[in-house]
Structure 1
Amino acid sequence: MTEISTEQLMDRLGAAADALSRKVATMGDDDIRTATELPGWTRGHVLAHVSNVAGAVGRQAEYALRGETIEFYDGGQGGRTQAIEMAAGHSAAEHKANLEAGLQRVLPVLAGLSDEQWKLPISYRDGDIYGGGLALWRELVIHLADLNVGRGPETWSKEFCLYLISFLADRVPADTRLKLLPLGLEPMTLGVGENTVSVQGMLTDMAAWLAGRTPTMGSLRAEAAADSVELPTLLPWPSALPK
């Protein structure tokens, strides 16, 4: 797909942040405690994670502007898990405040970057600030869907789905060539394995499946050698930390 410009990325981040904030603003304490489809996670866990990611991406950019790099989370994977568990049980008001704080840390610093500063190195995935911005976009959009508040994968834009499918291509097993046949769109091929599996259906369902989420439209059909088969088992999410 065509690379998203930094201006477009900021627009997408602003829209995703606004959509998430609007939904969270309607939640009460009982809503926060509701379980999600993510194993062992309530909405509180999801919101704690997203707030932490927003703050972490902001921190990555702040340090990069000083010519330094720093861990995405203090304490790495263990620190990530501990921070989520500690904050998951907070009240709705606390989650709203934490989310706002995270977004207010990251969005202004990203908005103030020059074209060259977007290319500054950060520790996340040994990449640059631009890659951190894309990670935040993924987190905001996907985890809003995880909250199950009427903004599921069926609402994901074509642009986001195509980007996400490209990012998640590494989830295709080494022995598999995945031929995606989204309705009304050009075919896409992921992977280089000898076993070809064709998957047809809605683009949003394909993106959801590759992201480990339930395809809400139920449209996916898989074939191999002209026979119906189960969807392939995917490899782990290709990420250093956030999921």
Structure 2
Amino acid sequence: MTAITPEKLPEELRRAADVVASITAKLTDQDVEAPSELPGWTRGHVLAHVTGISNAMARQLEFAARGETIELYDGGYEGRTRAIEMAAGHSLAEHRADLDAALERALRAFGGLNDAGWRQPISYRGGVVFDGGLALWRELVIHATDLDTGRGPETWSRPFCEQLFDFLAARVPEGNRYVLQPLGLAPVTIGSGSAATVVSGMLTDIAAWLAGRTPTLGSLRATAAADGVDLPELLPWPAGVPVTK
């Protein structure tokens, strides 16, 4: 697999942020009010969320630089949801201004790190700054697709897809093992159970399915014991913010 390193990640974050900003620059006020690819969310909801997670990750780094940790969102999951709902209906101009400021804040934070900075603890998943950078990369790339403007998972890079394979291995139900077989590439096994299912197809289609998005190249096929089967079940996306009842 093609490993993403702290040295390479700032460039990937900049590239992903530029894509989101470019898409947003072409939207109209009517576009913002239209449905996104995410059920129940308009494009305004997606833009509000991208703004929120960018500011949240920047805050993680700003506190880490002082040797402190802070929760990802003020008010936890409920605070995140409230903020998205409050900002979703903003005008396009407001979304653009908020998003540009949040992206710049996050890119500035990640762009100024030294080796020790990448290893500073943060509260997000009890990890370190590098984990937060990978999370923001995932958020930017996937939600650019969720904006439903014609940029689908087929645009995802090989390093990004392979990073998803690693992160989303947590979606494999206990007792199962999925062998991901991208066309022309080495297989990747996720899960550790005895029951093996092979999922084959284009790299981006496999990544899209694993991320809960719609494959765009139509190439996916699942087999178990050499017989064709339905695509296997996946657990929910591993949440980075605890959900309290």
TM range (shorter): over 0.9
Q: Residue 193 of structure 1 corresponds to which residue in structure 2?
A: 193
In the alignment, the residues of structure 1 paired with residue 111 and residue 64 of structure 2 have an alpha-carbon distance, to the nearest angstrom, of 15
The match for 1:212 is: 212
Task: Read off the aligned partner of 2:60 and give its amino acid letter.
Answer: Q
Residue 6 of structure 1 corresponds to which residue in structure 2?
6
User: What letter matches 2:63 in structure 1?
Assistant: Y
Task: Please name the residue that 2:152 is paired with.
Answer: 152
1:5 is displaced (CA, Å) by 1.9
Q: 3-state SS of the aligned residue for 1:150?
A: coil
Q: Is the Cα–Cα contact under 8 Å of residues 2 and 158 in structure 2 kept in the other structure?
A: no
Which aligned pairs between 1:164-179 and structure 2 lie closer than 5 A? 164-179=164-179
Aligned-residue identity in percent: 61
CA distance in 1, matches of 2:62, 2:30: 36
Q: Deviations over 1:27-55 (max 9, x none)?
A: 11110011122121111111100000000
Conserved 8 A contact 2:171-2:238: yes
CA shift at 1:240, angstroms?
1.7
One-letter code aligned to 1:218: G
Q: What secondary structure does 1:37 align onto?
A: coil
1:123-134 equivalent positions in 2, closer than 5 A: 123-134=123-134
- The corresponding residue for 1:84 is 84
TM-score after normalising by structure 2 = 0.96
Query: SS of 2:200's equivalent?
Result: strand
Task: After TM superposition, give the deviation of residue 200 of structure 1 in Å.
Answer: 0.9
Give, in whole Å, the separation in 2 of the partners of 1:141 and 1:16. Answer: 6
Count of matched residue positions in the alignment of Structure 1 and Structure 2: 242
Moved over 4 A (4+): none
Question: Aligned-pair distance for 1:241?
Answer: 2.6
* 2:236 aligned residue: 236
**Contact kept in structure 1, 2:2 and 2:162, CA below 8 Å:** no
Change (3 A) 1:217 1:2: closer
Q: Which amino acid aligns with 1:163?
A: Q
CA shift, 1:4, in A, is: 1.7
Match of 2:111 in 1: 111
| CA–CA distance in structure 2, aligned partners of residues 3 and 100 of structure 1 | 29
Question: What do you get for the CA RMSD once the two structures are aligned?
Answer: 1.2
Please tell me the residue identity of whatever aligns with 2:67: G
Distance in 1 between residues matched to 2:177 and 2:118, nearest whole Å: 34
2:35 touches 2:41 (CA, 8 Å); kept in 1? yes
Per the TM alignment, residue 226 of structure 1 is displaced from its structure 2 partner at its CA by 2.1
Structure 1: runs of 5+ lacking an equivalent:
none
TM-score in terms of structure 1 length: 0.97
| 1:2 CA displacement | 4.5
Q: Which residue of 2 aligns with 1:162?
A: 162
User: Helix, strand or coil: the match of 1:222?
Assistant: strand
1: CA distance between counterparts of 2:150 and 2:241?
27
Partner amino acid for 2:230?
E
Counterpart of 2:142, as a letter, is I
In 2, distance between residues paired with 1:104 and 1:199?
38
1:1-20 CA distance string (max 9 Å, x none): 35322221000001111111
The residue that corresponds to 1:226 in the other structure is 226
* C-alpha separation in 2, matches of 1:108 and 1:37: 29
Distance in 1 between residues matched to 2:51 and 2:205, nearest whole Å:
26
Any unmatched runs of 5+ in structure 2?
none
Q: Distance in 1 between matches of 2:37 and 2:111?
A: 33
Q: Following superposition of structure 1 onto structure 2, how do residues 53-72 of structure 1 map, counting pairs within 5 Å?
A: 53-72=53-72
